[in-house]
Amino acid sequence: MFEFKDGLEMVPIQQFTQTSGFGSKTSHSRQTPTFTMEKIVGATPLLYAAADEAYANVSGEYSTKDFTVTVFVAVGGDGYRSFEYKNCLITNYVVVTRSDNEEGYTGKGFAVVDQFTFECRGYEPLNPAMDKLKVVEHANLISSSDLSSTDKWDPEFSTQK
């Protein structure tokens, strides 16, 4: 998920690679959080605008830089891992044609993909599976102090002598 100043954009990613930044939690670390991703060419206008502005403004000053990226690693809808990158900019963007090496263009066809490289100033690894394990659930039970007093009988209950 990309969070730009102009809005949010969900981007399905086919390939994701962390290239550096692990261990960059301390302020004196020299590693800059960077990652690459590959996706099928598609309707991602905000991401494309950020790439276009990064290319046009090599000075580094443009309106779409400093965005946040959250990468969700999921299998079958179950989220296992995620990474949050802050204050990001696009450092490289290319369009590549992928084909099956055996059948090429005549058999299974080909795919046109976007490849992006990002550099960020913040990185936070997240572990949603562990967060679920840490949730303490409380039973929804009635306490005996919540029960009405049963040591008093209604008038219709009486003993006969």
List pLDDT tens digits, range 75-98.
Answer: 887 778 899 999 999 999 999 988
- Give the pLDDT confidence score for residue 99 in this predicted structure: 76
49 versus 146: which is more confidently predicted? 49
Compute φ and ψ for 146, nearest 5 degrees. Answer: -85, -15
Q: What is the mean pLDDT of residues 128-140?
A: 75
Task: Give the span between the Cα atoms of 91 and 105, in whole angstroms.
Answer: 31
Domain spans of the chain, in order of start: 2-146
Of 9-23, 28-42, 116-130, 143-157, minimum mean pLDDT range: 143-157
- Give the pLDDT confidence score for residue 41 in this predicted structure: 94
Domain 2-146 has CATH 2.20.28: no
> What global pTM score does this model have?
0.70
Tell me the pLDDT band of 138, cut-offs 50, 70 and 90.
confident
Mean pLDDT of the chain: 81
Radius of gyration of the chain from its Cα atoms, rounded to whole angstroms: 28
Q: Looking at the predicted structure, is the pLDDT value of residue 114 above 90?
A: yes
49 versus 64: which is more confidently predicted? 49
